[in-house]
Structure 1
Amino acid sequence: MADLAVRSRFQQDYDRLLFSTPVRRLSDKTQVWPMDENDGVRTRLTHSHEVANLARSIGTRIHSADPTLFGGADLHNVVQPMLSAIGLAHDLGNPPFGHQGEAAIARWFNDNGNWIFTHTDRDAKEELKDPIPLAYRKEFLSFDGNPQTIRLLAKLQTSISHSGLDLTAATLAATIKYPVGAPNQDDKIPTSKKHGYFLSEQELVDWVRSETGLTEKQRHPLTWIMEACDDIAYSVLDVDDAMKKGVISPDDVMAILAADDRTMAHHVVKRALDAFSRVVAAKRRPEIARDIKIGYLRAFFIDALIDEASAAFVRNGLAISDFSHREPLMETNPLCDTLKGIARQYAFGHPTVLKMEALGAEAVNGLMTAFWNAIHDRKSEDFAKLDGKRRGAKNKFVFALISQNYLDDAVNCKTPGLAGSIRYRELRLMTDMLAGMTDTFTIKLWNDVKSLV
């Protein structure tokens, strides 16, 4: 009991996340460079820890500037642990190979969309009694890791009460980046351009909203900070990795920033150029000088963007509080945008990255088919039971690989209507399994599966 007096409920949220299996799996999920041999570059795990750290720093600066913007919430017991938690959790639902993995899952559903939502099998002869309505097909046709994160946190981790990691409603609310379900997705509104939760979690979201007072389309104020930190991490730290790998030099980065009309007059450019002059004057070996310059750029860029994100939140604080704010804090930030452009060209566009993403996409596509066959291949007398016996040897093997956590949720789902239907649960089970895999496991398993006849 003494421990409960020391740690707030929000600090417990962070601790539960930190020690959870999905967080550990992030160490083998792609940030930019898939399955890279250089262990100095970032994975989703290091990225998530950095986002959590940035979020905590920005929250502290905002609180120092105007504590009323957090509604009087205690900085150390509420705001900081909540920001750390949602920063650490924000990418948990991402499938292997990051955005390419999301695209591969969506592509499989689009390729099979002429029957998978409406008919029992590929021959498209027998129609489903419970077809997936058009509005909810988006959950699969535009598969996204954000709603999968909510599902992972709240359902797919084992607990006696079927409540996942049993996080607070406030932390779960702040983790929902896009506070709408698939039917309310709206490309014209940045906070609704994607769906942020699946129909399978509608009851959970209803509970979260009853506890927090939020409604559909209303984003938790701390979510804006988490989103900004993700943008900062993508812009600065992905460029940092590209420099570490020697794809682009720190001097090249500075040349781009100094030549760009949006950034040439930014104070960070002069600050960095002055620091580079001191490095040259120190007459260190070229490889050492390069590493020092990289360190300067990382520190200067992060410092500048933390200041600018904090200022943007304070400037828009009232609109954020009354839920009228729409634009991400870093949406039009010149430094952030320019660095993202460098990352897209020199990191995400690098042939090594593109090759591994292509291999990963092939593996995800192949495994989607393998898991669909295994999940759907039930004996007729057991068809109503998702854990019934499989008929083929290959399908028995593949089905045995499915996490018992995921299978337990699919089998014991008591939700009425579409979310509890056989087909919806089949599709959720398949995407749960694919999204939960790490990069290395995906490639290894695909090599094993495709070798079977």
Structure 2
Amino acid sequence: MQWTSLLSAERVCDPKYVEGQNRSIFVQDHDRIIFSAPFRRLANKTQVHPLYDHDHIHHRLIHSVEVSSVGRSLAMRIGHWLIEQGEIAEGDDHLLANIVQAACAAHDIGNPPFGHSGEAAIGDWFREKFSEGAGLFADAGQGLQAELTAFEGNAQGFRILTRLEMYRNEGGMRLSKAVLGAFMKYPVTAGTRVALPEKTPPYAGLKKFGLFQSEAAIFADAAHSLGLPEENSDAGRWWRRHPLVFLVEAADDICYNIVDLEDAFTSGDLPFDVVRDRLNTLANQTNRDTAGMTQAEQIALLRALAIGSAISVCVEAFKENYAAIMDGTFSEALIDASARAEAFRAIKALARDRIFTSARKTELEILGRKVIRNVMDEVLPVYEAMAAQGWQAEALPDHAAQIARALSLDLRDIDAPDKALHGLADFVSGMTDRYALRMSRLFSA
């Protein structure tokens, strides 16, 4: 892969666009993302703790802002090193930083309400409906079933960026191909991924799927311009990751691992000494004087030092694995290839055993699953009525029309079962935690 192609500023569906003299196209991409409604909705979507009343607990929007900050720092340092190595031109370090910052801001934009449990709830609901095989689900192909029964926020995010928001069905936000490449952690469709032979060598980009078939052509065009290596087989095609994906992924890994600890202390799920010791290990056993600091202030200091240390070791991991990253064969997260890998593994184990299993979080995940199922059960008849009326929204019977109006359902372009099912997924995944709860209560009244 070559940086001259990887930094492509060409917009999807708008190849003749020319950036302004005083504003980089990648800065414009960042602004389009953060001013969008899907980004604003992240303020009321779960990071770890659903429906939490504590003002200092992270939600998805704050997490995304923090990830974009860390990603920018990573990219500036990598960019400076690439200039020293003669890999990119003087000044292009700022392009890297702007690209990664934009991709980081968008990295969770497709997440449904209630976090990963919300993804599972949506997928489980679709799995049950496909197994019944009635109505809209009767003749669905394997590809559609694969992408909805394992519903994936990453693929929904790409759909929002390239189809649903701004220029609907005409490129969406029309972001640059470089930003879309840096965003795409899993450059494969669900249908291709499940059809790949079991002997396919493990690759980080195949861990999940990041594309719905409906947006596959958009990414294929971007991947061609970026020069991403393409893999073809009888199962279909997929691509190797853009090198900047590893920086976006590292920024996310750094933030959620470290900040989840801080939130666990704030919420009372973990005691001070446990959080202090884990963060101190990441911070390389700092000897800063903390006399006179409150426990919360000490944790905040250690969090900042830990993030700085993690950035440094991930930069070094990128340098050490640069050749494999650029030929598309590197297949680890940078934190796992870094000098702090063991410390991060300890944090992940602690989170798995004591944070993600806390009683309050578990109770609210159960509630969230019920809420999502209730809403999907009540909204499905609107799309079934659309099918019965020949996909004419104006011909909907009174009750279905009432529900569509009450929920502001966007029924444009719904003219086939697959589009109807994706339309349902678009609506449900776009809900905030609190809106989903309110709609569920409305339907249960």
Same fold, judged at TM 0.5 (above): yes
Equivalent residue runs for 1:2-401 within 5 Å: 4-67=20-83, 68=85, 71-72=88-89, 74-75=91-92, 77-116=94-133, 119-120=134-135, 128=138, 131-159=139-167, 162-185=170-193, 188-214=202-228, 215=230, 216-255=238-277, 268-271=283-286, 274-275=287-288, 278-279=289-290, 282=291, 284=292, 288-331=293-336, 333-378=341-386, 380=388, 382-385=389-392, 387-391=393-397, 393=399, 395-401=400-406
- Distance, in Å, in 1 between the alignment partners of 2:61 and 2:308 is 22
User: Against the structure 1 CA distance between its residues 424 and 109, is the aligned structure 2 distance closer, same or farther, given a 3 Å change threshold?
Assistant: same
Give TM-score, length-normalised by structure 2.
0.86
> Matched residues, percent identical?
30
Give TM-score, length-normalised by structure 1.
0.84
Structure 2 residues not aligned, in runs of 5+ = 1-16, 231-237
- Distance, in Å, in 2 between the alignment partners of 1:231 and 1:156 is 27
- Distance, in Å, in 2 between the alignment partners of 1:41 and 1:295 is 13
1:321-347 C-alpha deviation (Å, 9 max, x unpaired): 111111121235112221222233333
What's the Cα RMSD here?
Answer: 2.5
Structure 1 residues not aligned, in runs of 5+ = 123-127, 259-265, 412-421
- Count, aligned residues: 411
> What displacement does 1:249 show?
2.8
1:29-51 C-alpha deviation (Å, 9 max, x unpaired): 00011121111111000000011
Greater C-alpha radius of gyration = 1
- Distance, in Å, in 1 between the alignment partners of 2:146 and 2:168 is 32
- Distance, in Å, in 2 between the alignment partners of 1:267 and 1:429 is 43
* Helix, strand or coil at the partner of 1:6: coil
Q: 30-39 or 93-102: which moved more?
A: 30-39
> What displacement does 1:62 show?
1.4
- Distance, in Å, in 1 between the alignment partners of 2:82 and 2:146 is 40
Contact 1:379 1:391 survives alignment (8 Å): no
* Helix, strand or coil at the partner of 1:5: coil
> What displacement does 1:70 show?
6.3
Contact 2:387 2:417 survives alignment (8 Å): no
> What displacement does 1:77 show?
4.3
Equivalent residue runs for 1:409-448 within 5 Å: 409-410=413-414, 422-448=416-442
- Distance, in Å, in 1 between the alignment partners of 2:349 and 2:50 is 20
AA at the equivalent of 1:410:
I
User: Against the structure 1 CA distance between its residues 77 and 62, is the aligned structure 2 distance closer, same or farther, given a 3 Å change threshold?
Assistant: closer
For the pair 1:407 / 2:407, whether they are aligned, the reply is no
> What displacement does 1:121 show?
6.1
Q: 297-306 or 99-108: which moved more?
A: 297-306
> What displacement does 1:3 show?
8.8
Q: 142-151 or 190-199: which moved more?
A: 190-199
User: Against the structure 1 CA distance between its residues 213 and 64, is the aligned structure 2 distance closer, same or farther, given a 3 Å change threshold?
Assistant: closer
AA at the equivalent of 2:262:
D
> What displacement does 1:71 show?
4.2
- Distance, in Å, in 1 between the alignment partners of 2:117 and 2:210 is 19
Contact 2:111 2:157 survives alignment (8 Å): yes
